[in-house]
Chain A
Amino acid sequence: MIADALGLLAAQACFLAAGAGVVRLLGRPWPSSLADGALAYMAGVAAVGLLGQLLLIAGLALTVWQVVALSGLLLAAGLVSSRAGGGSREPGSWRPSGALVLVAGLVLAFLLLLAVDFFFQPLWKWDSWAMWTAKARSIVLLDGLDAGYFQRAALVPEHPLLLPVIEAIDFRFMGLNEQVLHVQFWLLVAGFLGSLVALLRDRVPPLVLWAAVAVILFAPAFSYQAATAYADVPLAIFFALAGVCAWRWLALSDRTALGLLALFAAATCATKFEGLVFVAALLLVLVVLVAASSPRRAALTAGVGLVALVGLVPWRIWMAANDVEQYHSVTEGLDAGTLWSRLERIPTALWALVREMLDPTSWLLIVPLAAAAIALAYAARERHASALALATSIAIVVALTAIYWLTALPFAFHVESAPRVVAAPVLLLASLTPVLVAAALDRGRETA
């Protein structure tokens, strides 16, 4: 187990090196703190996951040396980049008060406990052993993408491959250890929380930021769903990071954030097909909000939408070229009569989604308090984050309700999957809440 864990860590070193190059290429300075390292790591997972999928489609097998070469190339691209750290920023005031030390200490202790739990976790949920990790095993054991496997053996073959690619890389470095594989999911959780600190610490007071990090980590559904080794939490993590970068681009015109937004949006789309719906909602809202101040910036934002498809479109072309059939299609068997007869699904679906988002046994008080924070930020005349968070969340719930209405799959199946599907909008709201609260606190100080 220990040797396998060291192998897994070697794979993570590749992701970190690749990500350091990517963030440098996008204009941020070299990582100089744990939080910056976390952001570089998440960028590396996204970039290697996306490019790894393209390499598989091109016929490569993602061997250890191919992954090392890919990571080395991305690192080298950062080394030769002439962009002199345009995204450089000084961290906000980091005077460690007793309260801050307590919150941060609690977060680190809980993360440590989770690390041990994930280290011993077997694959126990159906879709993890039958679908996600099974695809990763096929990449390793069949030496690349095998059309026969995806035609006849893969469960829901149309899901894009970012997560199986990351898992396959882990397997290449450590062997087929499906317990230690869960440490990958723990690293995504820790990397996400660190990335939030890196992306928001110049705009949000430390105590507010660490409190938000703690709330996300302690939400029971977050750690449980991460441990299932399903794609929903990785998808939600990439999407929430894309949302925070979208806010930075909207409110601060941060060009580095625009690059990171493109990367994390592409990773969201390449993780699971719901990701396309989430990213479309986010970018649609963002384009509208940006267009109000600058049509040129709105055009750049719309361009991100094209970049976001970089992992998804080649995968769909590969599927079509290799006669891989979709497990299901949203528009299958649709006609006016069917839609009319399914109208009663709409309130049920809407209620299922909202109920899951509000369920305190899953997500604590994240959503109601995000709603309160949106109202406070609006009162404080902070319109960017409040509009982005509110409109994107509403757009996602409406889009998911429409899918549940249209789908030919059993309605009960969709309602049962609602707890996992809402992870993305909930994490988006949780990630933007510290921005909203900080705006209200700032306004309060100004008026006091």
Chain B
Amino acid sequence: MLALPAGSGRTAVLLLAFGALLGVAVFVAWWRRLRPRFPDDRLGAAALAVVLLAFCSALAVVPYSAWRIAEDIDHTSSLTRTEAETTGASLNSLSPGVFDELRRAIPPGDSYFVDVAPDIGSPPSDAFPEWSASALLPRLPVRSPERADWIVTWGIPPERYDVPLAGVRVVGHARERLPEAYLARVAG
């Protein structure tokens, strides 16, 4: 659940207090009603207490949980389809537009080599190749630039690799205020 509100705050406390009162009230009412079914029987009464305690303790959190879920729905239902599809990238500080550009440029079925400059910190540096691996399907990554049809880098000019290139271009900033992302076609 993407946007569950934090556990504190006045609303949370009020709902938890209300839930606790509800749980206690239901426990007392049902105990009084059901306990007489087990006259002179401590085992049955203890089992009944376990059932009621389990249910009433769960009931106590329902108002609070329902409120949190409603808040989550309020947020997620307002997301556009594009925003929803790129949530994983956005949460890891990647610009989804870069991957749109890469999808437009690299034909389906082609292979690519992906690399990220070491000075770009985690998590975006880890997220960049992982998000590429899913978002660029059915294009597949390879482990060396020599075997690739394309080179995709973030913060590393593709000319640094010892492979002939047919063209290099900037595809945007994978993250604001960080170096550019590049796309290069491997020659031949």
Instruction: List, sorted by A's number, 18 A–B pairs whose CB atoms are closer than 8 Å.
Output: A114-B69, A122-B84, A122-B87, A124-B87, A129-B134, A130-B134, A134-B133, A134-B134, A142-B138, A149-B137, A155-B133, A215-B54, A215-B58, A220-B65, A223-B1, A364-B58, A444-B38, A448-B40
CA distance A447 to B38 in the complex (A): 10
CA distance A380 to B142 in the complex (A): 63
B residues in contact with A437, CB < 8 Å: 47, 50-51
**A354-380 interface with B by 8 A CB criterion:** 360-361, 364-366, 369, 372-373, 376, 379-380
Check A443–B43 contact: CB distance below 8 A: yes
A residues in contact with B161, CB < 8 Å: none
Check B65–A218 contact: CB distance below 8 A: yes
Check B41–A148 contact: CB distance below 8 A: no
Shortest distance between the CB of A426 and any CB in chain B (Å): 13
Total inter-chain residue pairs, C-beta < 8 Å: 173
Please count how many residues in chain A sit with their CB below 8 Å of the partner chain's CB atoms. 64
Shortest distance between the CB of A145 and any CB in chain B (Å): 13
- Asked if B163 lies at the interface with its beta carbon under 8 angstroms from chain A, I say no
- Asked if A121 lies at the interface with its beta carbon under 8 angstroms from chain B, I say yes
A residues in contact with B81, CB < 8 Å: 179
**B5-38 interface with A by 8 A CB criterion:** 7, 30, 33, 37-38
**A243-268 interface with B by 8 A CB criterion:** none
- Asked if A198 lies at the interface with its beta carbon under 8 angstroms from chain B, I say no
Check A121–B134 contact: CB distance below 8 A: no
A residues in contact with B87, CB < 8 Å: 122-124, 129
Residue in B44, B55, B70 whose beta carbon sits within 8 Å of that of A445 in the complex = B44
- Asked if B66 lies at the interface with its beta carbon under 8 angstroms from chain A, I say yes
Check B47–A129 contact: CB distance below 8 A: no
Check A152–B134 contact: CB distance below 8 A: no
CA distance A122 to B88 in the complex (A): 8
Residue in A103, A123, A227, A444 whose beta carbon sits within 8 Å of that of B44 in the complex = A444
- Identify the stretch in B72-80, B152-160, B164-172, B173-181 within 8 Å (CB) of chain A at 4 or more residues: B72-80
- Identify the stretch in A25-33, A206-214, A390-398 within 8 Å (CB) of chain B at 4 or more residues: A206-214
A residues in contact with B50, CB < 8 Å: 369, 372-373, 376, 433, 437, 440
- The answer to whether residues A122 and B58 also contact, given A152-B143, A365-B53, A376-B43 and a CB cut-off of 8 A, is no
A residues in contact with B43, CB < 8 Å: 376, 379-380, 440, 443-444, 447
- Name A's B-contacting residues (CB within 8 A): 99, 103, 106, 110, 113-114, 116-117, 120-124, 126, 128-130, 133-134, 137-138, 141-142, 146, 148-149, 152-155, 178-179, 207-208, 211-212, 214-215, 218-220, 223-224, 227, 360-361, 364-366, 369, 372-373, 376, 379-380, 433, 437, 440-441, 443-445, 447-448
- Asked if B46 lies at the interface with its beta carbon under 8 angstroms from chain A, I say yes
CA distance A130 to B39 in the complex (A): 58
